[in-house]
Structure 1
């Protein structure tokens, strides 16, 4: 139904749009006004998208239909395609057309009203109204929505500014969380995890990780992550390894499509202590990050690069203080306790040799004191040496060990702080499982590529071994070895899952960090 034709009422409706601070609500309101105040039989609202990629691969903006009224989507898309946006965007240095236009559609033989919505210097959206069956709009129709596009453009600009300010405030809060994470004592993985969590929240991605690719070996190391850490991410990461390495070196972000997802990489500042890329995996491929998205994430990551610089200095200082404490304890033990115990042992031994009565416990005292000296010396040695065990190192060593057998070096990736969170006993079990899995690949798979991933997330440790071999079909499938791996997982409260659909196999061994 067409509402009152009172100009004051029409102005009030248009001004009411400007008070809305949500872009979707602004466009919904503009669409409703256009439908209510004209005799249009059909209506199509189209958003002109941002480029879905960045850099030399960037694509031209493509229209995306947001709303359809009074016609089916196929007819709406056809109308949209026939009319296009020719002449609306304007040429270089020209503003896009902002005024309502009366067009003709040759296919339907009807008039079409076009209402462009311009924000700043770019066409943001385009509203098409298809005339009723008589073919034309009357002057009241045109007058009733005169200025709708301009007012909607102002409202969209206000809503975008408000949303951007809110997102900037949120980014400052997330950056402050990264700052707070480096208050001593802390692990270097703490600020990296806060960085990944912040990127996940700001981008709306399904996954965000901080990843580095070794320039010499091409080894992929995931330092921290948030969101869905799974095989989907592993496949995407494998596909963009070269892009990640390039971004680490030149500091340029990238956005690429991978299957049904969009991969967005924002590098840490290569001039600072830690290098790497914040990698985000977004659902869908039809839309990439907007200019505002890129600006916010770039500023957030650059701020975090400075914080991580400070974190590295703090971390080194912590280690220096710890080393100094170890040296002091070692000196105190050596100069005080050990010497006193050693002197006591000599006195007791001298008393035994001279035949003096030692209360019948001399030999036992000597043994106990000697054991104490040996234990204390062992403690001093451990303080000086530190804990060198590394699950990542063990996994890499196993991969190199099986290189001659497989005929190639398995790719190794780690996700999260595996060295600091995985208990020694569990790490030992994981290396046994990996050895069995690599042995199976060598004996049964006939693979040309093997990938090993280890991850810590949400209180669980997961080991994946993926190959492109012949799969599990066939009589030589290593059932007994898999039973052993399943038994080990069950004993630790976990499970084993093997997927093999045709060619290739994915083995997932998953156990809790604590029981």
Structure 2
């Protein structure tokens, strides 16, 4: 007998609507229904939404979520005996919310069928087996009907809250895919993040990004997340035709294969390959809802755009790499190789003339040492990569040369250096600064070095000032300054070196908008 106390009933209903988790809502509703009616047993079944492409005549699939007072086999038998009795409206129509009083011939007891309706569809189906006296009274039926309606409202609220949280999560996962194409990157990186995001959003056991190649019997897996075992290979082999159709016509699919639900969402980029995101959901997972399909579809469409951008970025990376190789080859040829060649000629000339080669030898040692340092600088430039901050690069170089100079160079920056200086110019500036600091360490005999970088009036300027012996008293090789001047000229700028007596000021100036 359901409690006749109105206060108790109100607390029961409030207890349900205060929860924002769907499973908890259903668990509390079934517990209240069983306790208040003294039902001997109950069976709660979730009803899946029809799969895309299905017809209204098809019976929606369902799965038993909770059983009390009987085992799983007895629960399945009870549902089979009752069938769809009491679920008026039929598949595809708006279900009724009324409680149905049914009779179970096998037990001779009354069964209450309580539909939980969310929006325009039947979400769950609760069967209550009568208490030992064999029947429910009218008060039970009235109260259970109210409980069913409130449960439907509570489930809708919980689904709305869950959907908002999932939308937030999908934005975070999309941002992770975006971050995966920050140079340097591999084309497999965004695909892996896509598979991981699809796995998390769908709750699947496995998520893979696949493509059916020219051979329609072979499915190529480009990236995957979750459980990748023999089940995946067998399942993909069984749904190859559906994957190929989705890849060609851009329409998703949801099909059953043995104990799994296979869900496919096509990728549709302009430049990247046309593949399909395939997820395997196990038997405990309800099929994807309309919200599931809408959320994951939006995520995959976003990833399609990211993959397009990744292909363009990847092509640009190759172009930049080729340009870097050409530049490094030119620098080595114009500087290091020519210096070594000149050194070899000097030594050979001294040997042939029979003169004392000691002086030539000392000079050759210095030249070779300079060449070795230049080669090390080039290797360092290749290995270090590009940081996100030119200021950070300048400070790092100053700290790097502290042991060589015997003191830390002073560093100052003026204007929006990090935001306005393009990456190519920033890379060139760090190379110039390395050469300038190297000259200070090797030739200037300085006790203080100041480094200034500035952005002003559309120009980027690098100053390196030292209090050393100046250009007149130094042995700075002209090839080094010529290399710096060539770099500036290639970018539309210029190099100016001032040295009046003691101390030197090097100014390297390049326009920003070239």
The TM-score normalised by the length of structure 1 is 0.64
| Aligned partners of 1:102 and 1:114 also within 8 Å | yes
Distance 1:415 1:254, change over 3 A: farther
Relative to structure 2, which stretch is displaced further, 474-483 or 300-309? 474-483
C-alpha separation in 2, matches of 1:474 and 1:257: 85
Partners of 1:431 and 1:196 lie apart in 2 by 39
1:442-466 deviation digits (Å, cap 9, x = unpaired): 9999999999999999999999999
Q: Residues 86, 3 of structure 1: CA spacing in aligned structure 2 closer, same or farther, 3 A cutoff?
A: closer
Aligned to 1:395, what secondary structure does the other structure show? Answer: helix
Distance 1:498 1:419, change over 3 A: same
Unaligned runs of 5+ in 1: none
The more displaced of 469-478 and 143-152 is 469-478
Query: Given that residues 86 and 100 in structure 2 are in contact (C-alpha distance below 8 angstroms), is that contact kept between their aligned partners in structure 1?
Result: no
How far off is 1:303 after superposition?
A: 0.9
Q: Does the CA-based 8 Å contact 1:274-1:305 persist in structure 2?
A: no
C-alpha change, 1:477 and 1:384, in structure 2 (3 Å) is closer
Deviation at 1:27, TM superposition (A): 1.4
- The answer to whether the 8 A contact 1:100-1:147 is kept is no
Q: Is the 8 A contact 1:113 1:129 kept in 2?
A: yes
Q: Structure 2 regions of 5+ residues with no counterpart? A: none
Cα distance change of structure 1 residues 328 and 511 upon mapping to structure 2, 3 Å threshold: closer
How far did 1:53 drift?
7.5
The CA deviation at 1:98 is 0.7
Question: Structure 1 pair 212/13, CA: closer, same or farther in 2 (3 Å)?
Answer: same
- Measured after TM superposition, the shift of residue 302 of structure 1 is 0.8
Give the direction of change, closer, same or farther, for the CA distance of 1:234–1:366 in structure 2 (3 Å limit): farther
Distance 1:87 1:166, change over 3 A: same
1: CA distance, partners of 2:405 / 2:53: 39
Matched-pair contact (CA < 8 Å) for 1:495–1:511 = yes
Q: 1:249, 1:270 within 8 Å by CA — same for their partners in 2?
A: no
Contact preservation (8 Å) 2:347, 2:360:
no
Structure 2 SS opposite 1:216: coil
Is this contact kept in 2: 1:38–1:144, CA < 8 A? no
C-alpha displacement at 1:493, in angstroms? 55
Q: 1:36 to 1:489 in 2, by over 3 A?
A: farther
Moved more, 2-11 or 404-413: 404-413
Which runs of structure 2 are paired with 1:198-209 in the superposition (5 Å)?
Answer: 198-209=197-208
Shift of 1:276: 2.1
In the alignment, is the contact (CA less than 8 A) between 2:252 and 2:265 conserved in 1?
Answer: yes
Deviations 1:321-355 (A, max 9, x none): 22212111222222333334334434444544455
Mark the CA change 1:126 to 1:231 in structure 2 (over 3 Å): closer, same or farther. Answer: closer
Q: What residue is the counterpart of 2:16 in the other structure?
A: 17
After superposition, the Cα gap between the structure-2 partners of 1:79 and 1:313, relative to the gap in structure 1 and judged at 3 Å, is: same
Residues 150 and 379 (structure 1 numbering): CA distance in 2 closer, same or farther, change over 3 Å? closer
**3-state DSSP of counterpart to 1:55:** coil
What TM-score does the superposition give when structure 2 sets the normalisation length? Answer: 0.64
Q: How far apart, in 2, do the equivalents of 1:247 and 1:469 lie?
A: 72
Moved more, 112-121 or 385-394: 385-394
Which whole-Å CA distance do the structure 1 matches of 2:362 and 2:116 have between them? Answer: 97
Q: Evaluate the alpha carbon distance shift between residue 499 and residue 276 of structure 1 in structure 2; reply closer, same or farther with a 3 A threshold.
A: farther
String of CA shifts for 1:406-452, please: whole Å, max 9, x gaps.
Answer: 99999999999999999999999999999999999999999999999
User: Once structures 1 and 2 are overlaid, which stretch shifts more, 75-84 or 372-381?
Assistant: 372-381
Query: Structure 1 pair 314/101, CA: closer, same or farther in 2 (3 Å)?
Result: same
After superposition, the C-alpha distances for 1:193-241 in whole angstroms (9 at most, x for unaligned) are 2222211211222332323343369765443332334444344444444
* Secondary structure in 2 matching 1:145: helix
Contact 2:465 2:505 in 1 (8 A): yes
| Larger mean Cα displacement after TM superposition, 371-380 or 285-294 | 371-380
- More deviation in 132-141 or 371-380? 371-380
How much is the aligned-residue C-alpha RMSD, in angstroms? 22.0
Tell me, in whole angstroms, the C-alpha distance in 2 between the residues paired with 1:391 and 1:370: 29
Q: 1:223 matched to which residue of 2?
A: 222
Once structures 1 and 2 are overlaid, which stretch shifts more, 329-338 or 410-419? 410-419
Query: Residue 242 and residue 192 in structure 1: after superposition, are their counterparts in 2 closer, same or farther (change >3 A)?
Result: same
Q: What secondary structure, in the 3-state scheme, does the structure 2 residue paired with 1:56 have?
A: coil
CA distance change for structure 1 residues 459 and 364 in 2, over 3 Å: closer, same or farther? closer
- Range 129-138 or range 452-461, more displaced: 452-461
Segment of structure 1 superposing worse, 357-366 or 250-259: 357-366
Q: 1:266 to 1:473 in 2, by over 3 A?
A: farther
| SS at 1:439 equivalent | helix
The alpha-carbon deviation at position 175 of structure 1 amounts to 0.9
Moved more, 321-330 or 271-280: 271-280
8 Å Cα contact 1:205-1:282 kept in structure 2: yes
Where 2:372 maps in the other structure, the secondary structure is: helix
- Aligned positions, number: 514
362-371 vs 501-510, which moves further: 501-510
Evaluate the alpha carbon distance shift between residue 57 and residue 261 of structure 1 in structure 2; reply closer, same or farther with a 3 A threshold: farther
Asked whether the 8 Å contact 2:444–2:474 carries over to 1, the reply is no
Tell me which moved more, 77-86 or 459-468. Answer: 459-468
Structure 2 vs 1, CA of residues 160 and 311 (structure 1 numbering), >3 Å: closer, same or farther? same
Tell me the distance in 1 between the aligned counterparts of 2:350 and 2:69: 110
CA deviation after TM superposition for structure 1 residue 158, in Å: 0.9
Between 1:9-18 and 1:472-481, the stretch displaced more is 472-481
Deviating more after overlay: 146-155 vs 454-463: 454-463
Q: Which string of whole-angstrom CA distances, capped at 9 and with x for unpartnered residues, describes residues 14-62 of structure 1? A: 2331111111121122212222222433322222123478669996423
Structure 1 contact 15–151 (Cα < 8 Å) conserved: no
